[in-house]
Chain A
Amino acid sequence: MLFNSQAFLFFFLPLVLAGYYLLVPKAGRHAWLTACSYAFYAWWDWRFCGLLLLTTCVDYFAGRRVAAGRTPRRRKGWLAFSLCADLGVLGFFKYYDLGASTANALAGLFPGTFALPLLHLALPVGISFYTFQAMSYTIDIYRGEVRPARRFIDFACYVSLFPQLVAGPIVRYRDLEAQLVRREHSWEKAGAGIALFVLGLAKKVLLADGIAPLADRAFGHAAPGLAAAWTGLLAYTLQIYFDFSGYSDMAVGLGLLFGFRFPVNFDSPYKATSITDFWRRWHISLSTWLKDYLYIPLGGNRKGAGRTYFNLFATMLLGGLWHGASWMFAGWGAYHGLLLAAERMNGKRGWLFRCPRPVQTGFTFLLAMGGWLLFRSENAGVAKRMACGLLGLNGWGTAGAPVRDAGLHAALLVLGTVLVFSAKNTWEIKIRPTVPWCAALLALFFLSLAAMLVNSSSPFLYFQF
């Protein structure tokens, strides 16, 4: 169930809100949220609820043992147990087939060696997000930065909280620790939550989904021409931003409706003036997680220049793989790792820093687009085709299959481009609970709902059966 689905907006959310505020006593609110979050998760596949529960139990138990451990050795042992369990589950479900197929391909170079079976496991939705959240909990307890959760239901609520369960932001336990004990519910928070949710929905449904067909056409084309390839790559660059940041805004808005405050996840990333700056602004909850729990433990920049470059590269490579079990994601991570290392190597002496700010921003945007080429391509063949198109090796070429309402999509592409370079972040817009703002947000809500319904509906009525 996605936030931008009828099931969520017209069934699940009203039910959860009604239960939370009207039906359930205050003491039972976390239990209600947890139950609803499991129902939300089960909507994809109920079998994976067991996995979510397992992760919750293991980390709750391990967290208590880490905190209670009398010797550093014992504390470290329980931390290792928790991390092994979390990474084991994540690795098995997400990366087993990738590892096995890669091993088999390598073994194929030496006939008569071995062949690992492929399990074709269904990937539990959101496993990467909740695993990272659960890991941060035990690590922070080990570091003495948080205390273990007092009640199991609080911790279960934190791990499974549906607004951020499947697509982030990655909320660390220390950000919610106090809120799980006591948090304020107010009309102010609810108002801000509604505004953020509506803006996020509009970003996702009107902009991201409106631009998507242009990207799909280019990446699905056998030999995209120069114009089609650049348009498609630009479209994807904008699509992924509006899609992800819109979803994050919705998550944060939903959190506010239940009294929670989540961290900011996007800060106008395409206004960045360098790749380092880009990663301070893009998926902030992930980049800070990687910095705090991977880059710094690896040594950060404290062990010499060479080690720093390696740490940057390794962190980004693993960060790329976190996005999905594909070598294309690893390539995307490695690409960013190399760019970060190169920027670190050049320091402030690079030519880019001497250029005017718009040039820096434009160049960084182009570098980010290069990364999205790898990120969006299902395999190296698609990436190569698109790269040929971008370099003009396919000529101007045809645009591929005609896109329905292409003019509208093109207009949205232009609008999106203007917005990413000139507009404020959603959380910076000066919204107030006034009549004009209320009318504007309602109009945006109607428009988003209409676009969502038009796109999701099939006139083939009885396919419902």
Chain B
Amino acid sequence: MTKPLQPELSTRFAGCGGIRNRVFCLVFLCVWALLLAADWGLRFQHYRWQDAWWIRTGGGGNAAAAAGGKPAETVQAARRGGDLSDFFPFRFLAAPYEEFHPRAVFPCDENGFPNEWPSAARHYGAMFAGDSFMVSSGTQNIAQVFAETSGLETCNFGRRASGPLQQIGWFIQTRPLRELPPLAFWGLTARDLGGGLFSRQPLDAWFAGAREAATAGTPTLSRGWRIRREALRPREVDRAWPNTSALAHFARHAWGAVRMVAFRKWPAEIAAAEHPAFGPMLFYGENLRVLPELTPEKDAAGILRTVGRISDWFEQHGTALVVLLIPEKEQIHEDLLPPEQRRGIENGADALVSALAEGLAAQGVHTVNLLPAFRQAAAEGTCLYWRDDTHWNDAGIRLAAREAWKYVVEHRLADGGSDRGAGNGAE
């Protein structure tokens, strides 16, 4: 016969009176409820989990904008420090790395993207899709700079922290514009190029969704919602859970502070180096870990297949898709890293980007590899990235926009526009 259950503990609690037990349990339940509320609230408010769970089928309209009947705008307040210096648990430690990020004001369309309101019925000459590089800015983001450079009206479907594929998938499924622009740029950073990430994407569902929308005769403005069932699978939710948790964020931050105080160790998310010309510079620890792990042999085939299919879809709809291969800061400033990490990035991310540029070109996919141009500009003394952030600064954005337009002109991909800035460094 097995032993009876925990007689000591239960008996001890039972001997302490109902009120005390009740208070004990209620205190725990209240604390737990508070944690739950905070975590769930911020999950939807800050991390916008809902964007991964359900999508608009058609440009339904930003609730706030639609209700008010007038365009909204997003204000990016002026501040010191970027996403990397935010990893420091104590502000004073971040001070040497921090830069001034100016205030910027962006329009906000009915889908929450930085375009003029309303965007659905407009006629655009070009569009951008991708994640944070597409919307990060100094004073302007890449779509705005490209519009100035090219003279083409340009819309932007970039969203921060959305990953390389979510926005392009969203665009294909929902067709938020009445007419597709003749030119589409899709930004992929080196860190995005994890083969597994690409192979997980439900491409068939995207294209099926697009067909459904087209068959219904309402490719735009259908105002419907569709739950992304694939995003609700346990494996996907489990993957998303810790990364969209405010508690996890605070725990990481607190642990970073403890490590720094108790063990005199830097936060694992950042590494620092002194650039001879630009000064102290921060690098992203996750990039230093991921970039050397990329391999052309393992990752290239899946990415080429996925990008090829997406490019074909755009081509079938009369749009030339141009893939922008955006280098990470760590690739441009490899010389500041320890030799082992430098070799790792050369053999990993650099090799993969080269293989992809060649592979995509061989497949007939328009590709602009920004790595050589960025390396050259950095060698000539232009700082292209914020020192305290993973993203490019104004100079980086302008160079990228110029390279993109140069490619368009050389390959005659756009009918309209101007040739301002194409092929030269002048603005």
Q: Are A462 and B161 in contact, CB atoms less than 8 angstroms apart?
A: yes
- Complex-state Cα separation, A175 to B239, whole angstroms: 38
Q: Are A456 and B248 in contact, CB atoms less than 8 angstroms apart?
A: yes
- Complex-state Cα separation, A195 to B24, whole angstroms: 10
Interface centre among A252, A267, A430, A459 (most CB of B within 10 A): A459
- Complex-state Cα separation, A42 to B239, whole angstroms: 16
Q: Are B2 and A432 in contact, CB atoms less than 8 angstroms apart?
A: no
Q: Which residue of A lies closest to B289 (CB)?
A: A460
Known: A252-B5, A463-B197, A465-B52. A191 touches B24 (CB 8 A): yes
Name the B residues within 8 Å of A6 (CB-CB).
241-242, 245, 248
The residue that A462 contacts in the complex, of B33, B35, B166, B285, with Cβ under 8 A, is B166
The residue that B239 contacts in the complex, of A441, A459, A464, with Cβ under 8 A, is A464
Name the A residues within 8 Å of B131 (CB-CB).
462
Interface residues in A429-465 (C-beta closer than 8 Å to B): 429-434, 437-438, 441-442, 445, 449-451, 453-454, 456-465
Q: Are A464 and B52 in contact, CB atoms less than 8 angstroms apart?
A: yes
User: What's the minimum C-beta distance from B285 to chain A, rounded to whole angstroms?
Assistant: 8
The residue that A427 contacts in the complex, of B9, B25, B32, B33, with Cβ under 8 A, is B9
User: What's the minimum C-beta distance from A248 to chain B, rounded to whole angstroms?
Assistant: 11
Known: A188-B21, A190-B25, A405-B263. A10 touches B40 (CB 8 A): yes
Interface residues in A201-257 (C-beta closer than 8 Å to B): 252, 255-256
Q: Are A256 and B10 in contact, CB atoms less than 8 angstroms apart?
A: yes
Name the B residues within 8 Å of A42 (CB-CB).
234
Q: Does B105 contact A (CB under 8 A)?
A: no
Known: A434-B20, A438-B24, A454-B252. A191 touches B243 (CB 8 A): no
- Complex-state Cα separation, A190 to B238, whole angstroms: 28
- Complex-state Cα separation, A349 to B231, whole angstroms: 65
Q: Are A261 and B263 in contact, CB atoms less than 8 angstroms apart?
A: no
Q: Are A450 and B6 in contact, CB atoms less than 8 angstroms apart?
A: no
- Complex-state Cα separation, A451 to B250, whole angstroms: 11
Name the A residues within 8 Å of B234 (CB-CB).
1, 7, 42-44
Name the B residues within 8 Å of A75 (CB-CB).
none
Q: Are A450 and B290 in contact, CB atoms less than 8 angstroms apart?
A: no
Q: Does B416 contact A (CB under 8 A)?
A: no
User: What's the minimum C-beta distance from B110 to chain A, rounded to whole angstroms?
Assistant: 23
- Complex-state Cα separation, A434 to B23, whole angstroms: 9
Question: Which stretch (B11-19, B150-158, B379-387) binds chain A?
Answer: B11-19
Q: Which residue of B lies closest to A430 (CB)?
A: B12
Q: Are A427 and B197 in contact, CB atoms less than 8 angstroms apart?
A: no
Q: Does A407 contact B (CB under 8 A)?
A: yes
Q: Does A189 contact B (CB under 8 A)?
A: yes
Name the B residues within 8 Å of A44 (CB-CB).
234
Q: Does B22 contact A (CB under 8 A)?
A: yes
The residue that B243 contacts in the complex, of A252, A454, A463, with Cβ under 8 A, is A463
Interface residues in B152-174 (C-beta closer than 8 Å to A): 161-166
Q: Does B4 contact A (CB under 8 A)?
A: yes
Q: Does B92 contact A (CB under 8 A)?
A: no
User: What's the minimum C-beta distance from B133 to chain A, rounded to whole angstroms?
Assistant: 12
Q: Does A14 contact B (CB under 8 A)?
A: yes
- Complex-state Cα separation, A267 to B2, whole angstroms: 12
Interface centre among B20, B231, B245 (most CB of A within 10 A): B20
Q: Which residue of B lies closest to A43 (CB)?
A: B234
Q: Does B254 contact A (CB under 8 A)?
A: yes
User: CB-CB contacts of A3-47 with B at 8 A, as 1s and 0s?
Assistant: 001110010001000000000000000000000000000111000
Name the B residues within 8 Å of A456 (CB-CB).
241-242, 248
- Complex-state Cα separation, A442 to B29, whole angstroms: 11
Q: Does A352 contact B (CB under 8 A)?
A: no
Q: Are B23 and A407 in contact, CB atoms less than 8 angstroms apart?
A: no
Q: Are B286 and A459 in contact, CB atoms less than 8 angstroms apart?
A: yes
Q: Are B40 and A461 in contact, CB atoms less than 8 angstroms apart?
A: no
Name the B residues within 8 Å of A408 (CB-CB).
263
- Complex-state Cα separation, A445 to B4, whole angstroms: 27
Q: Does A153 contact B (CB under 8 A)?
A: no
User: CB-CB contacts of B230-255 with A at 8 A, as 1s and 0s?
Assistant: 01001011111111110111011011
Q: What would 17 A/B residue contacts be, using CB atoms closer than 8 Å?
A: A7-B234, A187-B18, A187-B21, A195-B13, A263-B3, A405-B263, A407-B263, A430-B12, A431-B9, A442-B27, A445-B28, A450-B255, A457-B248, A458-B243, A462-B164, A462-B166, A463-B243
Q: Which 4 pairs from chain A and chain B are nearest by CB?
A: A462-B163, A433-B24, A464-B240, A261-B5
Spell out A's residues near B (CB within 8 Å).
Answer: 1, 5-7, 10, 14, 42-44, 172, 175, 186-192, 194-196, 252, 255-256, 261-264, 267, 284-285, 288, 404-405, 407-408, 427-434, 437-438, 441-442, 445, 449-451, 453-454, 456-465
